[in-house]
Structure formats: structure tokens, C-alpha cells
Chain A
């Protein structure tokens, strides 16, 4: 899911990554609206709000929105920096997993802060919303970067447009037979439903467990980050076992 890059990725890799990251983005967005009255998985609206606040002369609110937009920007920037510079240092898989770990730490920070330190002040709220936007920037930067911009999971505007275009294209029979288009359609549908499902799960979970929902998001991110680690370990184990068996059988039959 994380260890492959760009065109080397299979449809299955993209569906797994898209589905899980969209699920976590949906969760984060819904819980931030519930707790902080602010969206955190997309920033399109914030550009409009920024202009609106400036036109009203609300400098403080304008600064808050600018701060959030920039944190999302820096999240995406750091994510891609780690991916393109980290490959030589730590290898491809680790450099792809680091943004997920940073995202996890940001969300964990919000959860822990809410549980133990939160005094319900506006300033704290703005910083915590900023931390969530930074996390979403990291995630969006990662998925867009490693999938060659095929997967974007934190907002659905472009996805809905792409989906509408595909649905219209499927009115032609030859397009319905086109595997590439059908695969893309499946990917987009998976992201759409995962995002929605994440939001739904988050909302329901919050009713019962409150701020602990942030820890559930962290758990989903742990799965994303370590899914390939498990696969790599398993492949290594199978390879070593096969080598051992081969060696043993060679010894048994006296072959060198």
C-alpha cells in the first residue's frame, strides 16, 4: 500500500490506500466539526472565508484562517519533502510511512490535549484545529505524491467531478469495456464511500466515547503505516523459510 511509488502502484494498492486514508479523513473532518465547529479536511472554503474576513476588516479572524491554510500547505510540503529526500536515507517504504506517522502524532496530540489539558479557550481551539489541518495536509500530500495525483482523499470536490465525468463516459459502450476507466471508477467510489463511512463511524463513536474518537483515527493510521511492514516481514519470513528448506533438502541429498 505504501511501499510502491507512482506508476508501479497497482489498482489494488491505490484502492487500499485511498479507502483507508479517506476513512480517516472522513473521521477527522466530522469529529472536528463536532468538537471545534470547524472543517479540517479541506481548505477550499477557507480561501473564500479568508477573503470575506479581510473584506469585513476582521483581521484576527483573517489571521486565524490564513494560519490554518498555511498549516495545511506546510503539511503537504513536509510530506513531499520527506518522500523525495527520505528515499535515499531510509528507503522507499519508510519515507512513505513517515508522513503517516507524523499525521498520527498530530492527531494523537489533539486527542491527548483534549483529554488532559484543554480549558476550552478559543486560542487552544484554533491551535488544535491547526494541528488537524496540518495532519490532513500531510495525508493529502502523501497520497497525491505517491499515487501520481490519482488519490486525493481529504476532499471530495474534484473526486465528485471526476466521478460525474466517468458516469457520463459510461453512456458509451466502448468506455464501459475500458478497464482503466472502470478501475478508476471503482477507486473513486471506494474513496467516496470510505470518506462517508469514516464520518458516520466518527459521529456515532463520538456519541459514546467522546474525544477518544481521535485515538480510533490513530488506530486506523497505525494500520496504514504498518500494513506493508507486516507484509514485508511476512515475505522475508517466507523467503528465509524457503531458503532454509532448500538448504536442508540439498544437505539430505548430498548436493552442494
Chain B
């Protein structure tokens, strides 16, 4: 049977722990963080409602137009089709000029998107998924239906690139 000297085993454990700490610190410092990934223009591709009180299949999650309109009224600032996250920390409607000076911040371990206007939080989303092509945001709602609103966005230009490839 494989036997280890206890002293060496202990030294190996210390080394492993310190290496893990340094590796994690290196990744935090140098890997592509959600804060860098989110910069740029994102096109809305779908709004979905996940009801908390009923299990529904994927196809029926598509949001009804009236419900979407109601949510839009509540969240008029998000009534845009293309979201632009500037590297200077501001978010705006990429297709229409606006005076809104809204700022975005990524919080937690990179899983919260917070929108702030005039120093006050407007809304905070949970970032369920983020990569260079897709952004999926979840928002807890308490409108006519309690549940989670899912907003799926794709990097602008992705669909055109795909069309060009085809």
C-alpha cells in the first residue's frame, strides 16, 4: 500500500492550500470577469415569465403582450430593444438618444446587475448566465403574477454574423 511520510503529507497539504489561494486570486485578477463581459451592446431576444406557483413547460413561458406591457410600465427605463453597457459605467438605449443618466454596477461574485440613477437603486437583476454571446437576467416580480422574469439578450451583431456564415 502506498504510504506517505506524515511530515511530507502535511507540507503537501499546506502547499496545495496556498497554491489554491494563489490560483483563485490570479483568476479573480486576470480572468474575463462579468464586468468586462457585459460591456457593449445587447439585443433583447426574449422575455419569459417563470411562474412560481405552477410548473410550466418551456413553450408556455413566452410572455403575453399585455403582461409585458405592464412590466414595461413598471420598468419604463428598460423599455428598450438594445441595451448598451458603456465602459464608463453608464447604461443607455443604444437606438434612441436619452438624457437618462443611469449607471450599472456588477455586485456580489459577479451575479448581480444593479442599475442606479441619481444615487438610488432603480432595479437589481440576477445574472443567471453571461458569456461573450448571451446574457440572461432574472428579475423577481411582484406584479399581477408573482414570479421570476427572465430576459434573454444576445450580443449585438451575433445574429448578423450567424446569417453571414450561413
Q: Which of A53, A65, A68, A122 contacts B106 (CB 8 A)?
A: A122
A49 in the interface (beta carbon within 8 A): yes
Q: When the two chains form their complex, are residues A36 and B108 in contact, meaning their CB atoms are under 8 A apart?
A: yes
Cα distance, A67 to B26, chains bound together (Å):
10
Are A63 and B27 in contact, with the CB atoms below 8 A?
yes
B85 to A: closest C-beta gap in Å: 13
- The residue that B21 contacts in the complex, of A38, A67, A126, with Cβ under 8 A, is A67
CB distance from B29 to the nearest CB of A (A): 7
Contact A123 B111 (CB under 8 A): no
Please tell me which stretch of B30-38, B47-55, B64-72, B146-154 contacts chain A, meaning at least 4 of its Cβ atoms lie within 8 angstroms of it: B30-38
Q: Could you tell me the distance between the alpha carbons of A63 and B35 in the complex, rounded to whole angstroms?
A: 15
B residues near A, CB below 8 A? 17, 20-21, 23-25, 27-29, 31-35, 89, 105-112, 114, 124, 129
Which applies to chain B's interface (DSSP): helix, strand, loop or mixed? mixed
B145 to chain A, nearest CB (A): 26
A65, A68, A126, most chain B CB atoms within 10 A: A126
Contact of A116 with B by CB under 8 A: no
**Whole-angstrom distance between the alpha carbons of A59 and B27 in the complex?**
8
- How distant is B133 from chain A, measured CB to nearest CB, in Å? 14
A123 touches B28 (CB 8 A): yes
How far apart are the CA atoms of A228 and B82 in the complex, in Å? 61
CB atoms of A66 and B31 under 8 A apart: no
Can you show 5 pairs from A to B with CB atoms below 8 A apart? A36-B108, A60-B110, A70-B21, A123-B29, A126-B110
Q: Which residues on the A side are within 8 Å of B17 (C-beta)?
A: 70, 73-74
C-alpha gap A65/B110 in the complex (Å): 10
**Which chain A residues (25-40) contact chain B, with CB distance < 8 Å?**
36-38
Taking Cβ atoms with an 8 Å cutoff, the residues of A that contact B are 36-38, 49, 53, 56, 59-61, 63-68, 70-71, 73-74, 120-123, 125-127
Contact A60 B107 (CB under 8 A): no
Complex alpha-carbon distance, A120 and B107, angstroms = 9
A74 touches B28 (CB 8 A): no
Are B31 and A63 in contact (CB-based, < 8 A)?
A: yes
Beyond A60-B32, A64-B110, list 4 extra A-B contacts (CB 8 Å): A60-B31, A63-B23, A63-B24, A120-B89
A59, B37: Cα distance in complex, Å? 13
Q: Which chain A positions have C-beta within 8 A of B28?
A: 60, 63-64, 67, 123, 126-127
A120 touches B109 (CB 8 A): no
A-chain residues with CB within 8 Å of residue B110 when the two chains form the complex: 60-61, 64, 122, 126
When A and B form their complex, which 6 residue pairs have the shortest distance between CB atoms, in order from nearest?
A63-B27, A67-B24, A37-B107, A122-B35, A37-B108, A64-B109
- By the criterion CB–CB under 8 Å, are A37 and B112 in contact? yes
Nearest-neighbour CB distance to chain A for B119, whole angstroms, equals 11
Min CB–CB distance B35 → chain A (angstroms): 4
| Contact A66 to B33, CB < 8 A, known contacts A60-B110, A122-B106, A125-B107 | no
Q: Which residue of B lies closest to A77 (CB)?
A: B17
CB distance from B11 to the nearest CB of A (A): 15
Please measure, in the bound complex, the distance between the C-alpha atom of A67 and the C-alpha atom of B34, giving whole angstroms. Answer: 17
Cβ of B33: which chain A residues have Cβ within 8 Å of it?
60, 122-123
Bound state CA distance, A121 and B108, in angstroms?
A: 11
Which of the listed residues A70, A71, A121 has the most CB atoms from chain B within 10 Å of its own CB?
Answer: A70
List the B side residues contacting A120 at CB < 8 Å: 89, 105
